[in-house]
Amino acid sequence: MKETFTNPVVAFGADPWVIRYKDEYWYCHAGRGSTVWVDRTKHLQNLGTAKAHKVYTPPEAGPFSKELWAPELHRIGNQWVIYVAADDGDNFNHRMIALVSDNELPTGTFRFAGKVELPGDAWAIDMTILDLGPQGRFALWSGWEGRQNVAQHIYIAKMSGTTTCTGPRVKLSSPEFPWETAGSGGKDKLPTINEGPQVLQKNGHLHVIYSAAGSWCDEYCLGRITLTKGADPMTLGSWAKHSEPVFRKTDKVFGPGHCSFVDDANGQTWIVYHSARSKGSGWNRQVSMQPVIWNGNTPVFGAPLAPGTPLEIPAN
SS3 labels along 62-101: CCCCEEEEEEEEEEECCEEEEEEEEECCCHHHCEEEEEEE
Task: Give the whole-angstrom CA distance, residue 218 versus residue 155.
Answer: 25
Q: What confidence category does residue 190 fall into, taking pLDDT thresholds of 50, 70 and 90?
A: confident
CB-CB contact of 204 with 216 (8 Å): no
Q: Mean of the pLDDT values across residues 17-22?
A: 97
Residue 316 has pLDDT above 90, yes or no: no
Q: Where are the alpha helices (DSSP H) in the chain?
A: 178-181
Question: What pLDDT is recorded for position 183?
Answer: 86
Q: Mean of the pLDDT values across residues 276-288?
A: 96
Q: Count of residues for the chain?
A: 316
Average pLDDT, the chain: 96
Class level of CATH domain 9-301: mainly beta
Strand partners, 206: 201, 227
Q: Mean of the pLDDT values across residues 280-309?
A: 97
Q: Mean of the pLDDT values across residues 80-87?
A: 98
Question: What pLDDT is recorded for position 68?
Answer: 98
Helix (H, G, I), strand (E, B) or coil at 45: helix
DSSP output for 154-186: EEEEEESSSSBEEEEEEEEE---SHHHHTT-SS
What percentage of the chain reaches a pLDDT higher than 90?
95
Q: Mean of the pLDDT values across residues 278-294?
A: 97
Q: What confidence category does residue 187 fall into, taking pLDDT thresholds of 50, 70 and 90?
A: very low
Tell me how far CA of residue 183 lies from CA of 18, 41, 85, 153, 245, in angstroms: 28, 36, 23, 16, 15
Task: Give the whole-angstrom CA distance, residue 195 versus residue 167.
Answer: 22
Q: What confidence category does residue 43 fall into, taking pLDDT thresholds of 50, 70 and 90?
A: very high
